[in-house]
Chains A and B, each alone.
Chain A
Amino acid sequence: MLELKRLTSVDELNKLQEEARPLLGLRHYNRAANQEKYQILICGGTGCTSSGSMNIRDALQAAIDNNDLHDRVNIVVTGCHGFCELGPLVIFYPGGIFYVRVQPEDAEELIKTTVLEGKTVERLHYQGRTGKTPRHSYRDMLFYNLQKRLVLRNCGRIDPENIFEYIANGGYQGIAKALGMGREATLEEVYNSGLRGRGGAGFPTGLKWKFMAAETAEPKYMLCNADEGDPGAFMDRSVLEGDPNAVIEGMLIGAWATGATEGYVYVRAEYPLAIKRLGIALAEAEALGLIGDNILGSDFSFHLKIKQGAGAFVCGEETALMRSIEGKRGMPRVRPPFPAKRGLWEKPTVLNNVETFANVARIITDGAEAFRQDGTEKSPGTKIFAVTGKVRNTGLVEIPMGVSMRHIIFDICAGIKNENKFKAVQIGGPSGACLPASMLDNPVDYDSLTAAGAMMGSGGLVVVDEDTCMVDLARFFLTFTQAESCGKCTPCREGSKRMLEILERICGGEGRDGDIEELERLAHTMRTSSLCALGQTAPNPVLSTLRFFRSEYEAHIHDKKCPAGVCTKLLQYRIDPEKCKGCTLCARNCPVGAITGKVREPHLINPNKCIKCGTCMDKCKHGAISRV
């Protein structure tokens, strides 16, 4: 019987791992012809939960009860599997039988066919890119086979609300080994791995830790930045929801290496599920004595708490985040002194991102060399990307650093939706850049992206197709940064406001000569003189779209046209009298009554009344309405 009892030595941890191993006993691919026992894994990530996965759990449980199968089948709710496009996902082990877009009505059939008949329900498999080749198992799916899931190894494979499953899969062996290695050797190992911060700037983690280890002031703090604010990024959320113990273990190792005794995880309040699962993991780790005093019988003590953010993007900046933990307005301050010297409550502090911490335990258990097997010389390891937008398979993708953007978007995520043409990929959120098709073959690593005028950011990739207006996209990002600017320094507060005004004018059809040059001048000022990274990087979306899509700006300003057909002030809807059959469908659906005409006669749109909502174009069955 597994008990949440204090562990007082590494031997006891090892013994617990042996005892917990049967928990994962069924999670393999060898399904016998007359398989007796099954385990059903249901995706409980935010994506699948929103598409109703908890109702499916209840329906499956009812089906198990109806068929009197509770001795043979049990259900486990896991974290995110990453294939969000096709959620809710349900996976049967052994076999890794993979079902997509499952509905509660399917439960009875799933149980009967899979468990009682030993077959699979063909119609609920992913049908492949062609829509004709059902993929039966996890192992048959290109989306997974092309990835290298190291950080995400437990996400979707274990129950994140059960610490024993984490331990069964080798969890907390990293801190156990580190305690045996000693503080200095642990620090050296992480330093030698070349791990760089996964939160954006890519600062070497080991170096940051060395700075703090050299400080003598006490106490020292180890903080985790889970204030994932970049729109379009959800990798940190998925790690916290799917494998919270990995983050706790990474923080423990960091605290051991640097001498920190207290820590906080700063999580966005918008992530209630992540907060809940992290809270459970923390309580279980405390009960096992993995957090607290004299961890695993050593003289190492570390206390960890969760702090909820209160909705401010700038709190992702390290000094602002620390002010926020202190209960103040989250505004950044000038560095130096760097937080490693004076951070939270003016004490030495290290702040790392969720994904960075999730990499650490493996560096210790497998060694720095093993970590360096993946990725490039200067950007070793893997990176998780959240791929969204107009791509066929949206989801979470983990790949070795250095592969090309083309590989991620076209090979793993199956290219662009609806056979549209790729236009650009936006990487790095509001601080990042838009890269055009000509850069698809560039490697994705910290230095190559910086050279291309972009940045890794946290790893959000938003793919856009020809229907996206790049000026509008730049305006969108500026709206965001302008609203989130804390207002402390003038270049960011005023610069973002003025840049946004110009962009709004351009999108509104009132752009004028000199606007582009003015944007560039303001961007330069913000870049060079803002206080923190928010202001310094806010112009990036504008600069990169100006660099690669300048003609779109010119079309807006000089020709008063939006080539992508997005900016409504620059659009007009017209009905082609040749094609219009006078069916009145458009007129009946127009929300403002702007369309007039008699039955079976060509209709007309009154441009003064039209609000350019596009409803008429969507409704027309004869393709008679166009946007010009």
Chain B
Amino acid sequence: MSFNRTANAIDLAPLMDILKPYKQNPRGALIPVLQQAQDVYGYLPQEVLETIASELRVPVAEVFGVVTFYAQFHLNPRGKNIVRVCQGTACHVRGGAGILEAVSHHLDVKPGETTKDLNFTLETVACLGACGLAPVMMVNENTHGRLTPDDIPGILDSYLA
């Protein structure tokens, strides 16, 4: 895993707005700040991590340690649409592996990868908590349940429009 320095300079102004309320009392601020920064930038480029470190007065190494510990944080740019295929127990016994295979095949990427056109990032999750609808996947904020591999191309293509 490595830092990703962006080719073009990024606008740090929104980050400064995020940091503002935490500067007085930085206790416990690191994770919420990283979450909000990722919401804005889509991922966490090196400039952002360095700025957060200096503004919250924690070593960059500690920031990097936290970012790499939690599955939610990303150091590389991600696709416009995030596909999260559930591999939880209920989905597993109802054919979740076949759904993952179908998505992976249709997008031609492995879990954790982003398509070349930056349209999709494929991820797996341990459980989305919609076990009653197993097997399930989420595309962005939408949950799709009771899936069969045949449903996959249609669902994914609908996000390209």
Chain A residues close to B by CB (< 8 Å): 46-47, 49-51, 84-85, 87, 228-234, 237, 269-272, 307-313, 324-331, 345, 386, 388-390, 394-395, 426, 429, 460, 462, 464, 468, 473, 476-477, 480, 484, 486, 613
Contacts and interface: CB of A to CB of B under 8 A. Distances in A.
Contact of B131 (A51, A394, A464, A468): A394
A330 B71 CA distance: 12
Given A231-B127, A272-B141, A327-B30, A460 B89 contact: yes
Contacts of B143: 46, 49-50
A311 B133 contact: no
Contacts of B142: 50
Given A229-B126, A386-B131, A312 B144 contact: no
A395 B131 CA distance: 8
Contacts of B28: 307, 325-327
A308 B144 contact: no
B12 to A, nearest CB: 21
B93 interface: yes
B129 A234 contact: yes
User: Which of B69, B89, B92 lies at the interface centre, i.e. has the most chain A CB atoms within 10 A of its CB?
Assistant: B89
Nearest to B31: A327
B145 A51 contact: yes
A80 B111 CA distance: 31
Contacts of B72: 269, 309-311
A130 to B, nearest CB: 22
A507 to B, nearest CB: 12
A517 to B, nearest CB: 27
12 contacts: A50-B142, A50-B144, A231-B90, A269-B35, A269-B72, A310-B72, A311-B72, A326-B28, A327-B28, A328-B66, A388-B90, A462-B89
Contacts of A388: 89-90, 131-132, 134
Contacts of B125: 270
A384 to B, nearest CB: 13
B69 A330 contact: yes
Contacts of B131: 84, 232-234, 386, 388, 394, 460
B59 interface: no
A476 B70 contact: no
Contact of A84 (B65, B98, B133): B133
A480 B62 CA distance: 26
B145 A311 contact: no
Contact of A394 (B73, B132, B141, B144): B132
Nearest to A46: B130
Interface string B12-40: 00000000000000011111101100000
Contacts of A50: 130, 133, 136, 142-145
B154 to A, nearest CB: 16
A229 B127 contact: yes
Contact of B130 (A47, A229, A390, A462): A47
A570 to B, nearest CB: 16
Contacts of A468: 93
B160 to A, nearest CB: 21
B78 interface: no
Nearest to A82: B132
Nearest to A330: B69
Nearest to A344: B28
A594 to B, nearest CB: 16
Contacts of B98: 613
Nearest to B34: A310
B88 interface: yes
Given A310-B73, A324-B31, A232 B130 contact: no
A426 B89 CA distance: 9
Interface residues of B, number: 42
B126 A231 contact: yes
Contact of B29 (A46, A234, A327, A613): A327
A562 B31 CA distance: 45
B127 A312 contact: no
A327 B136 contact: no
A473 B129 CA distance: 19
B133 A312 contact: no
A459 B128 CA distance: 16
Interface in B63-113: 65-66, 69-73, 87-90, 92-94, 98, 101
Nearest to A329: B69
Contact of A231 (B88, B132, B146): B88
A329 B127 contact: no
A445 to B, nearest CB: 22
Contacts of A47: 130, 132-133, 145
Contacts of B128: 46, 270
User: Which of B30, B88, B101 lies at the interface centre, i.e. has the most chain A CB atoms within 10 A of its CB?
Assistant: B88
Contacts of A331: 69
A308 B32 contact: yes
User: Which of A312, A462, A473 lies at the interface centre, i.e. has the most chain B CB atoms within 10 A of its CB?
Assistant: A462
A429 B89 contact: yes
Contacts of B66: 327-329
The 5 closest A-B pairs by CB, nearest first: A84-B132, A231-B88, A50-B143, A311-B71, A327-B30
Contacts of B73: 310
Contacts of A309: 72
Contacts of A325: 28
Contacts of A324: 31
A394 B73 CA distance: 33
Contacts of B144: 50
Contacts of A477: 89
B96 to A, nearest CB: 10
Nearest to A345: B27
A107 B29 CA distance: 47
Contacts of B62: 328
Contact of A51 (B32, B35, B92, B133): B133
Given A47-B145, A460-B89, A486-B69, 10 more contacts: A50-B143, A84-B131, A234-B127, A234-B132, A310-B34, A310-B35, A327-B32, A462-B89, A476-B92, A477-B89
B127 A232 contact: yes
Interface in B135-161: 136, 141-146
A329 B65 contact: yes
User: Which of A388, A395, A462, A473 lies at the interface centre, i.e. has the most chain B CB atoms within 10 A of its CB?
Assistant: A388
A324 B72 CA distance: 13
Contacts of B101: 613
Nearest to B70: A310
Nearest to B56: A327
A46 to B, nearest CB: 5
A309 B73 CA distance: 11
A87 B132 CA distance: 9
B89 A476 contact: yes
User: Which of B28, B69, B93 lies at the interface centre, i.e. has the most chain A CB atoms within 10 A of its CB?
Assistant: B93
A230 B126 CA distance: 8
B89 A390 contact: no
Contact of B90 (A232, A271, A327, A329): A232
User: Which of B30, B98, B127, B133 lies at the interface centre, i.e. has the most chain A CB atoms within 10 A of its CB?
Assistant: B127
